[in-house]
Amino acid sequence: MENLKIPDKYRRTGLYIYCYKCKRYSNIKTGCLRKTLDCNHPPERQVYKLKVHFPGTKNMTRTHVLSTRDIKEVDNERLKFMELLKTNNYNNVVISRPETTGEDRYLLTYQMKRYFDFITNGGFYEHEDARRLTNGSINDYKRNFKYFFESIAGSINIKTIRIDQLRMEHVELFHKFIRKKTDSNKTYNNIMSSLKAFYNHLIEYEKFKIENLFDTVPVHSVFYDPQSFSAAEFLKVLSVTNREQGYDVKEKRNRFKEWLPTAFKLGAFTGLRLEELVNLKYKDITEIQGILVLQSINQKANKLIRSKDNSRIKRIPVIPELQQVLFDECHYINNKDMDEYILAPELDRNTVKGIITKGFTHFKRIAGIDENKCFKELRTTYISRHRAELGDRGLTAIISDHSNANVVDKHYTAQIEAIKKSINFRVFSSDEVCVN
């Protein structure tokens, strides 16, 4: 999918390109979205949008999101919308959702495309804003739908099958297909839940009177065995993280990056999720009541929150181990308050995530560490050791994940008090092997 652009001959007053990710409008003169440091304007999150000033008022506008990406159709829809506004004296215009008639509306392939558009850009009406799904989550849906088509392709024409023609036999084929791909109950549940969610959407949002056959598939039990690293294990991983041992024979590439050991330490000494870790900036380190604190956007919680005004922030203490890494390896003093990523600022964030996870897995194997222990277990190590040392489950919960200052004051106060109690906490105690 390509970036949207408004060619010179189609530039009209009130016509913009709108980015759902950062909520910004395009530049009137260039007809394009301006490049920003905090948003790459994914093409699938861009739409044409009309924003027309209400005559006789200072700031009131009437807006309308266009459902087409064809600039000629956009121009025609703009003219119709302008006429409709004038006819209604610029009062709120009731715009009905366009309906696709005939057999196309019932095609499974057609409804899947509509669903991708919904979870990416939101619904037809402006209040039906999209949830904060990452590109990775959307790609998971696409992959799982592809699996479903592959599983039933031998029994039916996937180009003509209707959403109301699915049978239990198709669900059974999908079940067997997944089981051939994985023995993991967690992966099985995730793949099957994509189809459950899709059919729930068809029933609840699109208002089809159909049955969700995927609801009959039980959720399989997942056995969770939280793992953590000892100081000796973590030091062993760090000791082999170098260029000489970075070559991945299977993938024929070197996994080593100069900043990887620092990334591993930051993961261990912050307890952040990978998504939160790679988005850390120097300006996120601040001083509150004389204590150095790291403030991070809670990526997991914010996926469920649509409004930026209600974004959740977690605050964690800059413990001694973390402070040493920030000062000695991240050059915090020289970069203080800068709006720049701490880890590999020149790279795309998804690229950085891939380098960290694949790199950690590679060097962990070189070090001979348990195969079940991955990068995410560094967060488990931080949380479990914090609880073991301070003996307060509530305190650990506050440190590992809590709200921002926009919610009730008691939540903010609880965070600061928890930080004060945790400021001298060490992930690996001083009598263990030093890892800095």
* Overall pTM surpassing 0.75 (yes/no): no
- Of the given ranges (59-68, 100-109, 312-321, 409-418), which has the lowest mean pLDDT? 409-418
- What's the rounded mean pLDDT across residues 300-321? 66
Q: Are residues 267 and 412 in the same domain?
A: yes
Is residue 100 included in any domain, yes or no? no
Domain boundary among 95, 116, 132: 95
- At 1-57, the pLDDT tens digits run 788 999 988 888 889 999 887 888 898 888 888 888 778 888 888 889 988 877 777
407 pLDDT higher than 50:
no
Measured CA to CA, the distance from residue 128 to residue 354 in angstroms comes to: 32
400 pLDDT higher than 60:
no
Measured CA to CA, the distance from residue 354 to residue 22 in angstroms comes to: 24
- At 92-140, the pLDDT tens digits run 544 445 555 556 788 999 899 889 888 877 776 666 666 667 777 888 9
For residue 256, what are the β-bridge partners? none
pLDDT at 280: 93
pLDDT at 65: 85
Instruction: Please give the tally of structural domains in the chain.
Output: 3
Q: Are residues 80 and 109 in the same domain?
A: no
Q: Are residues 402 and 278 in the same domain?
A: yes
- At 218-274, the pLDDT tens digits run 999 877 667 788 899 999 999 999 999 999 998 889 999 999 999 999 999 998 989
- At 144-202, the pLDDT tens digits run 999 999 999 999 999 899 999 999 999 999 999 999 999 889 999 999 999 999 999 99
What residues make up the domain containing 159? 105-216
404 pLDDT higher than 50:
no
Q: Are residues 296 and 343 in the same domain?
A: yes
CATH number at 347 reads 1.10.443.10
pLDDT at 29: 82
142 pLDDT higher than 50:
yes
Q: Are residues 406 and 322 in the same domain?
A: yes
329 pLDDT higher than 70:
yes
Is residue 327 included in any domain, yes or no? yes
Averaged confidence pLDDT in the chain: 83
Is residue 1 included in any domain, yes or no? no
- What's the rounded mean pLDDT across residues 378-395? 76
pLDDT at 150: 95
Is residue 427 included in any domain, yes or no? no
pLDDT at 6: 92
- At 410-434, the pLDDT tens digits run 333 455 556 666 777 787 876 665 5
Is residue 324 included in any domain, yes or no? yes
**Is 325 or 290 the better-scoring residue by pLDDT?**
325
Domain boundary among 187, 216, 245: 216
The one-letter amino acid code at 397 reads: A
Q: Are residues 387 and 239 in the same domain?
A: yes
Is residue 433 included in any domain, yes or no? no
Domain boundary among 216, 242, 271: 216
CATH number at 205 reads 1.10.150
**Is 121 or 64 the better-scoring residue by pLDDT?**
64
